[in-house]
Each structure stands twice: as C-alpha cells, then as structure tokens.
Amino acid sequence: MTSPNRWRRPATVTAAVIACVSLGSGVASADSTFWGGKPGADGAGDSYYPQDGNGGYNVDDYNLAVDYDPAARQLDAKEVISARATQSLSSFNLDLSGLTVDSVKVDGRTAKFTRGGEHELTITPARTIYVGQHFSTEIVYHGTPAPIDDPALGNNGWQYSASGGAFVAGEPKSASTWYPVNDTPLDKATFHLAITVPDEWGVIANGKERGTRKGPKGTTHVWSEDTPAVPYMTTVAIEKWEFDRTKLSNGTPVVNAYAPGTSDATKAAEGRLPEIIDFLSSKFGPYPVDAAGGIFLAEPIGFSLETLSRPIYSGRAGNIGTIVHENAHQWYGDSVAVKNWKDVCLNECFASYATWLWDEAKSGVDLKTKYLAAVNSASATFWNSPGNKLYDMGAGREFTAVYSKGPMALHALKNTIGAPAFDFVLKTWPTLHRNGNAGFKEFQKYVELVSHKNLQGFFDAWFYVAGKPAPEYLYPGDLGKS
C-alpha cells in the first residue's frame, strides 16, 4: 500500500501561498474551508436515501482483514480505508450498521469516534485533514453481522445460509452490515479482502483470487477487486463451494462457485457465460471488469444481484435469462453506476432489455411481436400505477416497472430513432462513462445528440410520467405497421 501523503499546516503566509498555488486557484478561493476544518456531511444527499453515504471525502480503496467463525457467527476485522478529502475536515462519517467499533486511527494517530442514528460512525481525527489531502483510516471492529430488512425484497446485506455459511447481497445498501463504508453510488473504490475461515469452508468474493495461506485460525483467502465498485456491489460468500475456474477468450479469469445441491441445469447455464459475455460485448462494447463468474446460492432469496465481476444468484434463479440480466449490469449499473437512485432505469431497464436482445439473437424471438403482445396485454392499472414511472418513481418503487415497462420503453425508443442510432448509443454510453456515474437526463441528451431529434415528448410519455403513452409514442416506426 502506498503511504498516504501527509500535509503539515503552513507556518507562514509564504508557505500558505505556495500550498494554495500548488493546489490550483480553486483552493485559494475556498480559504475558509482550507484553513478551518468542518465536519463532513452525514449523508450524500440522495433524494430517496439522504442519510446514506457521507460528504467531505472520496474513498480510493477499502482493505479488509477479516476473521470469521461460522459456528459462532462472530466477525473480527481490521479495515484500512484510503481516501482523499474534498474539503478540510474536523470530523467525518462512515456508515456502519450494528457491530462494535474497538478503535480508530487516522494517519496512524488515535482518533475519537461516536455512534449515532441508524448507521452513523463519526470520526474526529487528532489533526485537521486538509482539502486535497490523502489520508488513511484504520478501524478495528467486531460483532455478529445482521441484515437490513427491506419490506419489498426481504433481507439485505450479511445473511446466513442453512448450511451454516454466510453471504452478502443487497441493494440499495448492504456493505454497511459488515464493514464501515461510504455507502453511496457516488463513491466508487477498489476493494481488497483477506478473510480467514476454518479450513473446511470456502470463500468467494469480487475480483481476482490472490492466493490462500494456512494459519492457526484456519485458511486465509485473498481477493482483489481493482475495478472501482459501488459499495453494494461488493460481496463475500462463505460455503462449502464447488469451484469451477476457466477464462474468457481475452484471458479474463472466470470463477464460479456452486453451493451444494446446485442443479446440473444451473451449471450448464453458467457454462455459457463466455458466450453470454461475448454477446453482450457485441452490443455494449468491451467487457469493462477485471474478472467474471457467478456465486450460486442454495438459499431462495428474493432477488439475484449484479455484484461486481461476479453476480450472486438466488437458489431459484440459475437460468439463462437471469445470468444474461445480471451480467448486462456489468456495463449498465456497475461500470456505469447511477448518480441518484431515481436514475435506476439506467441499470434495470437496460439489463432487462438485454434479455430481449439475447432471445432475439439466440432463440429467433421476433421483438416486434413480443413488444406488441406486451403492450396489448397491459392493463390500465399497469399503465396508471404511480410506480409505473421509469424515472423518479419514488423510494421503495425503484424495482418495479423497470423490469416490465423498461424494456418496452427501450424497444419503442429503438423504433423512434432507428436501429443504427440506437445500437450506437447502447455501445458507446458505457464507454463514455466507464468507471463513473451518470444520470438519466444525461442519457436523454445523449440520445438526442446521436439521433439529431428532439425527444422530449417521447421521454415524457415513457419515462417521466405514469400513464399509457399516446399512439405516436406507443407505435413508432415499424411498430405501427401491420
């Protein structure tokens, strides 16, 4: 690990001027922030989940050393967070649900800390952290992780399997159930994990395997995810796995982990992963992540999830359609993450439409017929429900119409702007925003730029309001021809 750059408070006006010049004119204009640290915000300001995430810094890397005892459900961990201050900080917050914090150090110096609210861990370092400064936070903690109950999806975060193992899955939040984190899509970071479990257990996580080593407490499994990840995309799963290791055609490592009892049909479906990724690459551009594979649970949880590089699948969801959907997210949702949760159509509408494209290419499904059947069978309740909006649908409604109305809207868009322009957008959008974040209205502007069309009426009809689109938007292009 690179040692953090440590700044000293300027002792003279001359030193202060030099420091400000070296940081650029933007810092000089923010002298009150530079000279006097202030508390970082205790939330990232999302309109749906305003207290999730924090302000005042950006994380570069999470590095976790974890001991986990499945029999006792006891987790003991030390975490090192590498970050950069975006304001001068007298204190800053992290998100942590439950668990007990034992000690905190910032740049090697003991720091004070308090707990508050549902998940706030407030840290006061011994010295002010100055804007632009790279700093390191070491947190030692322990406890029995507990999931977050979601009224729609059930448990999110750290969960327990019937076998005695454990796994992490959840959206919009899950990481805070097992490590202190800046829990917002706006702060991507690399993720490194060394987890020690008894020898009889296996471990799978994000990214690449970096080896194992035996010790007095069991076997330590080391994983490295060097593609920046949103926190909810990080995972670990502990089970008596059956592993399957291969590579994509470009050499990207593939690791699949199957829980005991996984069906041959599920294994055969995942065996087509290289074909699936090649197909998605032909539609969305080069595969944007450093590893691939899947985590196949025995538990029939309420969802599967696009955890970065290695989606995690419910025990009842090991089928081609779900595998296509979750891997499409590696482009739409993971490599390019939302800016706000109201933008979630950028994740789910596109991953859902990917299954339409797969069915067209691999099973000869006529998408016009599929689209018209969906439109003709949709009820008035379907069109007029408040949750039918595809943008800013409201907290708790994010994961509803995006799976059904979402692909219909994208197919209508394709027939509005034409296949060449639509295909160009699908392939270039992930490249333009790779490893970053984007908002839905940015997507509209990009489509209008590519197609040379004013599409406000179309986007209003399909995305921004509930209700059945007018015929001109419901049957554009060839969709209106018999």
- Cα separation, 62 vs 141, in Å, equals 15
What's the rounded mean pLDDT across residues 347-363?
98
Please give the class, per CATH, of domain 241-330: alpha beta
Q: How confident is the model at residue 12 (pLDDT cuts 50, 70, 90)?
A: very low
Write down the pLDDT at residue 150. 80
Average predicted confidence (pLDDT) for the chain: 92
The CATH code of domain 351-480 reads: 1.10.390.10
Separation of alpha carbons 290 and 255, rounded Å: 12
CA distance 390 to 405: 8
Is 401 a residue whose pLDDT tops 60? yes
Contact 134, 4 (CB under 8 A): yes
Task: Please indicate, yes or no, whether the overall pTM of this predicted structure exceeds 0.85.
Answer: yes
Residue intervals in the chain for CATH 1.10.390.10: 351-480
State the pLDDT confidence band at 480, using cuts at 50, 70 and 90.
Answer: confident
Per-residue model confidence (pLDDT) at position 223: 98
Q: Is the pLDDT of residue 7 over 80?
A: no
Q: Where in the chain are all domains bearing CATH 3.30.2010.30?
A: 241-330
Give the Cβ contact number of residue 179 at 10 Å.
27
Handedness of CA 364, 304, 435, 53 (dihedral sign): positive
Query: What is the reported pLDDT for 316?
Result: 86
Q: Among residues of the chain, what percentage have pLDDT more than 90?
A: 88
Coil, strand or helix at 385: coil
Do residues 244 and 282 touch, judged by C-beta distance below 8 A? no
Average pLDDT (334-356) is 98
Q: 243 and 267 in contact (C-beta within 8 Å)?
A: no
The residue that leads in pLDDT, 33 or 359, is: 359
The CATH architecture one would assign to domain 1-231 is Sandwich (2.60)
Q: How does residue 387 score in pLDDT terms, banded at 50, 70 and 90? A: confident
Q: Is the pLDDT of residue 85 over 60?
A: yes
Q: Give the residue-averaged pLDDT of 226-253.
A: 97
In the block, tokens 């209008």 appear at: 448
Encode pLDDT of 172-213 as tens digits.
999 999 999 999 999 999 999 999 999 999 999 999 999 999
Whether 24 has a pLDDT exceeding 70, the answer reads no
pLDDT of res. 35: 60
pLDDT in tens, 260-315: 999 999 999 999 999 999 999 999 999 999 999 999 999 999 899 999 999 999 99
Residue 242 has pLDDT above 70, yes or no: yes
HSE-CB of 425 using CA atoms within 13 angstroms: 22
Query: pLDDT-based confidence at 3, cuts 50/70/90?
Result: very low
| 97, pLDDT greater than 80 | yes
Predicted confidence band of residue 20 (pLDDT cuts 50, 70, 90):
very low
DSSP code per residue over 83-121: EEESS-EEEEEEE--S-EEEEEEETTEE-EEEEETTTEE
Q: Are 71 and 45 a contacting pair, CB within 8 Å?
A: no
- Specify the pairing of strand 166-169 against strand 189-197: unpaired
Residue 29: per-residue pLDDT: 33
Per-residue pLDDT at 153 exceeds 80: no
Residue 11 has pLDDT above 60, yes or no: no
Confidence class of residue 385 from pLDDT cuts 50, 70 and 90? confident
What's the length of the chain? 482
Given a cut of 50, whether residue 15 has pLDDT beyond it is no
- Taking residues 96-124, what's their average pLDDT? 97
In the chain, which segments carry CATH 2.60.40.1730? 1-231
Mean pLDDT of 89-95: 98
